[in-house]
Structure 1
Amino acid sequence: MSINKQSDIAANIQIGPTDQGMVRIYIEADGGIELPLDFAPEEAEDIAEELRAAAEAARAVAEGKGRRR
Structure 2
Amino acid sequence: MGIDKQSDIAADIQIGPTDQGMVRIYVAAAGGIELPLDFDPDEAEEIAEELRAAAQVAREMGDQPKPKKR
What is the TM-score when the length of structure 1 is the normalising length? Answer: 0.91
Identity between Structure 1 and Structure 2 (%): 71
What is the Cα deviation at residue 65 of structure 1? Answer: 2.6
Q: CA offsets, 1:14-49, max 9 Å, x none?
A: 000000000000000011100000000000000000
Amino acid at match of 1:17: P
What is the TM-score when the length of structure 2 is the normalising length? Answer: 0.90
In the other structure, the counterpart of 2:40 is 40
More helix by share: 1
Q: Quote the Cα distance in structure 2 between the aligned partners of 1:64 and 1:37.
A: 34
- Aligned pair count reads 68
Gaps of 5+ in 1: none
Secondary structure class of the residue paired with 1:57: helix
